[in-house]
Structure 1
Amino acid sequence: MQNEHILVAEDDLGLQTSLSFILEDEGFALTLVPNGKVAFEKIQDAYQKGHMFDLLITDIQMPELNGLQLIKSISQAGIDLPIIVTTGYGDKQTLIELIRLGCDDFLSKPFEPDDVCQKVHEILSKVRTHKAMEEQKYSELIKENIDLSREIDSYKRSFSSLRKELDSAIITYNDLICLREDAYKVPIAYRIQSLKDLGGDYVDIRNTKEGCDFIIADVAGHDMAASYHTVMIKSFFDENCRTQKDGNTFFQLLNLALMENGKNERMVTGIFLRLDLQKKHAEAISAAHPKLFLFDSQKQELRQIDIEGSVLGMFEDATFETSKFSISSGDRLIFYSDGIPNAFHIDGPTGKKHTLKESGLCQLLDESMHLTLSGMVSNVWKKIEAFTRCKQTDDMLLFALEIP
């Protein structure tokens, strides 16, 4: 069998030499390049010739085209290539971005030869297993020699069954995001629009003895898996409303459940809000969700509540930031998913991309704050649609409540 071919993108000659010794000693064929630009050219050339590399090992910090840019370029080109990243800059945000882009594993500098060999063999073993399974499936399909008409009937039945499951999931999701605006101790107004039939944005509110508990969450993706996660969040929120645990405990328990369900399968952000209308007190807990806006009716001032926290479903040691603040009658709290500040349009004559951003949303809210709560949400939503020219690129959710 031909030796597996590994492409190494590393600008440090010392590390290049070390990786070369380690991997050649293991019997791998190597191609060494000094930066991401040359690496991508090699990958494109190999892809066009039908002799793709079996694995890419790349550094993050490189000249001309860094590791993140290289991985993005590979993904945008639609090239399927296993990737191991070597980096001494392993902050959580970088790791999150790498996972989103499809990186398979990481090597933290400095690394030992055994660590390199173990990671490489693990990844390539998975690739071999996948290829073998695909070849076996193909072989079995050929051997079966099933009559074409029966095969088509089978596909039709499978499609019909899947369509029923999908229709059921769509109905379930639509039920989850449907709220009665007159059913709570606080007036609410909201707009939600999924990019596809199934979305990952979720919002819910429940009356409590003292006031209300509220949750907004954003699950990555627009498929049945995202819908499944929204059902899980709803179940945990229902239970938390019954037990009345604090928001931090709620997120800790939800995070553990998401981790057990499959690490890195779906990332979730969210904000949990507890309102005490008797004491005029609010407590907001964030899991890396976009910051909420507070309109102070006494000061006639719109500001953001500065809380962040960890994403859910990624890290066992996740932490969640809390903000406690006073509220008054007439105050408004505005929540949204990242599809709104990330909304954009392309200017035809110049080709320039214009993104709404949080500052743009803040301006739209400020301009509409004189309207009723429902009127404010409706007006802002129409202006967002006009800004995007009705070309939505992600799930979008805008929710507001007013303190009575």
Structure 2
Amino acid sequence: MGYRANRVLVMMLALGNSFLAMAQELPELAFPSSVSGNTTTARFFGGASADNGGTFGSSFGFNTPLDISGAIQVEESHVNTVGNLYIVVLLGENYLYRDSTGNYQAWDLDMSTLGAASPDKTLSSVEPLTIVDDVPLGPAGAAGSTLSIFFAYDTWTVPGDLFYSGSPITVAIGTEPSADAASGSDAAPNSSPSASISGGNQSVSDSDGSSGESVSLSGSASDSDGSVSSTQWLVGGSVVATGTSATLSLPDGSTVVTFRVTDNDGATADATATITVAAPPPAEPASLTIYNSLISAPIVQSRCVSCHVSGGASGYTRLVFVRRSADSFMTTNYDEIVDFIRNIPNGASLILSKPQGIAHGGGVRLQSGSTELENLSKFVEALQAE
């Protein structure tokens, strides 16, 4: 590893896993992944900020002091298990990992040689990580470079697997100002533009019972020493819209949306927001529709509750309903009859034969060939098909 990379990594000290007190939530890093290829519910967050977390960006000046921090939300089943936390940095063409002493070591991408930043620790539900705190990376040797920072963890309960942020924190550092610019005798170095998304992270309710939603977003863009040349909206690294506002078709679940601003000097700034779209409620089962419209009032309430109710002549049996005066009586009685059919031996046959007077102490309640009996049969068939 060269002298220049060493200078950067000396500045990126292991400041301990203390979470920066930022004014807003860290951006979520997309594409959480596992080495095994299995889906993971772990989530990864991280960002670089020049204003103590007020905004997050990806391009910064040579002398700009930066806070770079992150957090890992481990899978629920991994909480309180023993595992390791990892920080991997791609600087130029060199991969490096932070070891337990806070130093960065060259890594050959062999999993067996990857060292942990925090080894053998009991995993909390959220593990905060600090990369740098108020450090300008240009003077540290990163001028004109782009750093990609990945987070990962493992647990002894899943040996051989590693859970990691598929998308890194990306930080580009500007070049060193010329001597004339530094002395003030020439133009000042370019400042990065600013970007923000109105409302930040958002939750969107289902509006039509179908998967996905159209979500309208608005961004703000400015440049203190020039002009904004373009604004883009990205999902999964691909541009999906341009301009300061956009209406995006997003799937159910969480999607990380990036608003990217580019100024007239080519400097960029990113703002990200996680948009969580609620899935539509499950469709009402056919048996419930039939029960509510054809069974509850004409059969259960009219023919059954006089006996099959608490305190009634059949209140001791396996099938006990409630009267319409009870709260949620339709749901309660539907659940009762479903439980009877599914859990009593020959429940489906009994629910059809007993109302016809077969082995039924209450005698005939539904005549053979009647509309009510036909509807009850439809209900049983629908329930058995579900």
Query: TM-score range, shorter-chain basis?
Result: under 0.3
Greater share of residues in helix: 1
| TM-score, L = length of structure 2 | 0.24
TM-score, with structure 1 as normaliser: 0.23
Which structure has greater strand proportion? Answer: 2
| Structure ID, larger Rg | 2
